[in-house]
Homo-oligomer: A and B are copies of this chain.
Amino acid sequence: MSAVLLKHKLLSPCLRLASTASSTFKYEDLEISLNATPQAKPDNDKLVFGHHFSDHMLTVDWVAGRGWTRPYIHPVQDLRLHPGAKVLHYAVELFEGMKAYRCADGKVRIFRPLENMKRMCSSAERSSLPDFDGGELVKCIKKLISIDSEWVPQSNKCSLYIRPTFIGTEPTLGVTTSSQAKLYVLTGPVGPYYPTGFKPVTLLADPQYVRAWPGGCGMYKMGANYAPTIQIQKVAAGQGCQQVLWLFGDDHQLTEVGTMNLFVYWINEQGEEELLTPPLNGLILPGVTRKSLLELAREWKEFKVSEKEINMKQLVKALNENRVKEIFGAGTACVVCPVEKILYKGQELNIPTMVDAKLTNRFFGQLTDIQYGRTPHPWSEVV
C-alpha cells in the first residue's frame, strides 16, 4: 500500500488532469489518505445491519465534460451536498450490496463482484448517470477492503457488507440529467443473518400494494424502488408479518419477497419436480444470489429449473394438493430465507418449507461454502 501512496505523490498535476478526461476512472490513479485515528471495532455478537461503518470509504466524482476524478480512499466523512442537489429532490441515486468474507485460510474473499458492477452500470444508465468500467471499481473496492481488512469479522458467520452508491449532485432544481455525480463505497461489518439457525418468515401478500410494473424501473437497483416499500413493510409488521410478498397483476403473480428474489420448489402441474423463480420480465431485480442459485441447481441436473411466472391461484392449488415443498427468498443479506406462512386474502397459507428444508439447507450450505472459501470456486475472488 505504501508503494501506491508513493506513486501517487510522484504524479504531476499535469498527469492528474489528463486522467480526469477519461470515460472511466482507473484503479491505477487511486489516491489514498489513511485515517490517523482508527475507530474501535464493534463486537461480532453486537452487530446491527448497516449501523457500523469501517474506517475508510472510496469516493470518485464526475462532472459532465470533464469526466471522472481520480478514485480516492479516505476516512469516512460526511458528504457536503448543496441542498438543491438532484439526489435530494428527484432520487437520482442507485446502489449495490455485496459482501466480503473472512475465510478459513485467513484470506478475505468477495463474491462475483463483476455481476454487481454489471447491474450498477445498468442502473446508472437508467438513472441518466455516467458509465464507468466496473472492473476498475472492483479493483478499487478490493483495495478499500484490504486497507480495512481488520474490519472483516474473524467469523465464519459474519461478513463485511459493501455498499457502492452513486448519486446525482448537480445543485439545480430542473428534472433533468445530473451534470455532476458522486460514486462512493462504504463498508461495514454485519452479523449472521441466522445466529441460531434458520428463522422462517411469514409474508403479507396483499395485491393492493405494488412494488414494480411494466415500463417502470423495478429491474434496477435505484433508490426510487425502496422508499415506497417502507410504509408497506410497516403495514405487514402490523399484521404480524416479517416481509411483504409483492404481487402483481389481476392474477396476483408472485414477484419478490421484501428486498429479495423469490423461489418456489414444488411438484408442478405436470408432476415434475421443479425449482421456479419469476423471470426477468422487467419487474424483477436481477439478483446475484438468484443467478447463482439457478446456476447451481442447473449444474446439479436433478430437477427442472425454470424462470417463469407463478400466481397465487396456482400456488394455493399446489398447496391444497401437497405439491409445494419449499418457498424461500434469496439475496445477499441472507443467502436464502425460508417462508413458513403467507397471509393472503385474510387466510393463513402454511408453507411446509421447514418440514425438512432440504433445498433451502443445501443452497445455504453450498453458497456459504463458496463464499467462505471452504469450497474453492471461481465465483469467490481473493481481495
Which residues of the partner chain B approach A77 to less than 8 Å between Cβ atoms?
Answer: 83
Contact mask A187-226 → B, CB, 8 Å, 1/0? 0100000000000000000011110011111000011111
Bound-complex Cα distance A89 to B221 (A): 10
Bound-complex Cα distance A203 to B50 (A): 43
Bound-complex Cα distance A165 to B95 (A): 22
Contact B90 A230 (CB under 8 A): yes
Supposing A176-B233, A214-B210, A231-B126 touch, asked if A223 and B224 sit within 8 A by C-beta, the answer is yes
Q: Which of B89, B231, B234 contacts A223 (CB 8 A)?
A: B89
Contact B163 A223 (CB under 8 A): no
Give the distance to chain B from A99, nearest Cβ to Cβ, in Å.
Answer: 13
Which residues of the partner chain B approach A81 to less than 8 Å between Cβ atoms?
Answer: 78-79, 81
Stretch at the interface among A14-22, A65-73, A138-146, A167-175: A167-175
Contact B224 A215 (CB under 8 A): no
Which residues of the partner chain B approach A345 to less than 8 Å between Cβ atoms?
Answer: none
Q: Which residue of B lies closest to A231 (CB)?
A: B128
Bound-complex Cα distance A95 to B57 (A): 30
Bound-complex Cα distance A175 to B331 (A): 14
Which residues of the partner chain B approach A57 to less than 8 Å between Cβ atoms?
Answer: 83
Give the distance to chain B from A345, nearest Cβ to Cβ, in Å.
Answer: 16
Contact mask A45-66 → B, CB, 8 Å, 1/0? 0001111010001000000000
| A91 at interface, CB cutoff 8 A | yes
A87, A214, A223, A233: residue with the most chain B Cβ atoms closer than 10 Å: A223
- What size tier do the contact residues of chain A reach? 35 or more
Which residues of the partner chain B approach A76 to less than 8 Å between Cβ atoms?
Answer: 83
| A374 at interface, CB cutoff 8 A | no
Supposing A208-B215, A210-B213 touch, asked if A226 and B89 sit within 8 A by C-beta, the answer is yes
| A177 at interface, CB cutoff 8 A | yes
| A261 at interface, CB cutoff 8 A | no
| A228 at interface, CB cutoff 8 A | yes
| A326 at interface, CB cutoff 8 A | no
A80, A87, A207, A222: residue with the most chain B Cβ atoms closer than 10 Å: A87
Supposing A89-B95, A223-B90 touch, asked if A165 and B230 sit within 8 A by C-beta, the answer is no
Q: Which residue of B lies closest to A175 (CB)?
A: B226
Q: Which residue of B lies closest to A206 (CB)?
A: B215
Bound-complex Cα distance A175 to B227 (A): 8
Leading 9 A-B pairs by shortest Cβ distance: A50-B173, A210-B215, A91-B223, A90-B226, A91-B91, A224-B224, A213-B213, A91-B227, A78-B80
